[in-house]
Amino acid sequence: MPELPEVETVMRGLRAVLEGRRIVAAETTRPDMRWPFPEGLARRITGATVTGFRRRGKYILARLDTAESLLIHLGMSGRMVARPEAAPAVPWMGPQGAYSDARGHNWSRMHPHDNPPDTHEHFRLRTEDGTRIGFVDPRRFGCVDLMPTAAEDAHKLLAGLGPEPLEAGFTPAALSAALEGRLVPMKAALLDQGVVAGLGNIYVAEALFRARISPRRLAHTIPGARAARLVPAIRAVLEEAIGAGGSSLRDYVRADGELGRFQDRFAVYDREGQPCPSCPGAAGGCAGVVRIVQSGRSTFYCPRLQR
């Protein structure tokens, strides 16, 4: 469930090992993930130097010096796993000692999900300095594509995205305009990547909680004062989550194997029946966090605080 904070964290991990480096080999281990890999993927990126990274919503973009950009979406269960070429096949089973490479990067904390390391590694590349980077995605909801760098934002998957929530264009006025007249529940509206890019089930729940807005409230009632609360709430939860390295839940793990820690700070997500952190408790008339299903997905909220 990589959402914006997890994707941002993964992108930073990739930047640390890939930016400024040349790709000396690449391979795919099957013909497709969500969609077929782009024609000639390995050939087109081999020999290229990665000049920079950016994130757009839940997409990672790596610019190459070939005038093409590599697009990566982690889907539901995608992970990027980086390790030195010379790393033992199963380092977590060996002695506990850390070993660092020449740049001081610590490779000792491989995640148990990497056992065995090549399972579900559908795409991998190697850099000139001996780092191997694999795209592991058991469910294969993720995807990889290549496009001209000059036309990044025209890519079919990026063209319809709404504003970046952490950039200046995401204002109460802009959010209000996007929600005007819409008859869907706020839960669905914020999951719509065309309204704002990068939110998923977790951060929609957490942002709505912080803004004291019910996930069931219809979107067209938000413009105005509620939008003015919601924009800073979305920003704050995303920034805090990025600061914590994202949330580690089931599948997600950072490229360097360290775990994100934001899941320890969830107020409502996956906390059905537990006390609402901002309510006075049962004596104050709060029955705790409630779980409902909206369009087939779990929604968590406090009915007392969120209206």
Active site residues: 2-3, 58, 297
Smallest distance from DNA to CB 97, Å: 26
Q: Residues 261, 266, 10, CA angle at the centre, nearest 5°?
A: 40
Query: Could you list the residues that contact DNA (CB under 7 A)?
Result: 1-3, 34, 57-59, 73, 75-77, 113, 119-120, 138-141, 157, 182-184, 188, 191, 193, 200-202, 250, 295-298
Closer by beta carbon to DNA, 48 or else 143: 143
Tokens coding 270: 């996956």
Closer by beta carbon to DNA, 101 or else 152: 152
Residue 216 CB-density burial (10 A; 0-12 exposed, 13-18 middle, 19+ buried): middle
Closer by beta carbon to DNA, 139 or else 307: 139
Smallest distance from DNA to CB 99, Å: 26
Closer by beta carbon to DNA, 58 or else 226: 58
For 124, left (φ over 0), alpha (ψ -120 to 50), or beta? beta
The residues, any chain, with a CB within 8 Å of residue 210's CB and separated by 6 or more, are 233, 236, 237, 267
Closer by beta carbon to DNA, 157 or else 279: 157
Smallest distance from DNA to CB 296, Å: 6
Smallest distance from DNA to CB 20, Å: 27
Q: Cβ atoms within 10 A of the Cβ of 17, count?
A: 22
Tokens coding 131: 């780092």
First vs last Cα of the chain: how many Å apart? Answer: 27
Please state at what angle helix 172-179 crosses helix 225-243, rounded to 10 degrees: 110
Smallest distance from DNA to CB 29, Å: 13
Q: How far apart are CA 114 and CA 134, in angstroms?
A: 11
